[in-house]
Amino acid sequence: MKRIGHICLFAGVAWLALVVTGQDVNGQNAPSWKAGAAAIDITPDGPVWMAGYSKRDKPSEGVAQRIHAKALAIDDNTNGRMVIVTLDLIRVPRQLRDAVEQRVHEQYELAPESLLLNASHTHSGPAPESRGVDDPIHAKKADSYQRVLEDKIVQVIGEALSRSRPADLSFTRARAGFAMNRRLRVGHEIRNSPNPDGPVDHDVPVLRVTDSDGNLTAVLFGYACHNTVTGFYTINGDYAGYAQAYLEEEHPGAVALFLMGAGGDQNPYPRHASLEQSAQHGRALANAVEAAMQVTIQRAVHGPLRSALGYAELEYAEISRADLERRAGSRDSGEARRAETLLKEHQAGTLDASYPCPVQVVQFGADLTMVAIGGETTVEYSLRLKRELKSGPAAVWVAGYSNDGFGYLGSKRVIVEGGYEGYSANLRRHPGPWASNTEERVIQQVYDLMGTINH
pLDDT tens, position by position, 300-345? 999 999 999 999 999 999 888 888 888 888 887 777 888 888 898 8
Cα–Cα distance measured from residue 449 to residue 455, given in angstroms and rounded to the nearest whole number = 10
pLDDT at residue 213, as a whole number: 94
Name the pLDDT band for 347 (thresholds 50, 70, 90).
confident
pLDDT at residue 427, as a whole number: 83
What is the average per-residue pLDDT within 406-429?
93
Give the burial class of 58: count Cβ atoms within 10 A of its Cβ; 0-12 exposed, 13-18 middle, 19 or more buried.
exposed
Lowest mean pLDDT among 175-189, 254-268, 425-439: 425-439
Three-state secondary-structure class, residue 341: helix
pLDDT at residue 7, as a whole number: 35
Strand residues in 126-273 grouped as ranges (E): 165-176, 179-186, 189-195, 203-211, 216-223, 255-260, 266-268
H or E element in which residue 333 lies? helix 333-348
pLDDT at residue 331, as a whole number: 80
- Report residue 375 CA to chain centroid gap: 9
pTM: 0.91
pLDDT at residue 17, as a whole number: 39
What is the average per-residue pLDDT within 55-72?
93
Which residues, other chains included, contact 63 with Cβ-Cβ below 8 Å and sequence gap of 6+?
43, 234, 235, 236
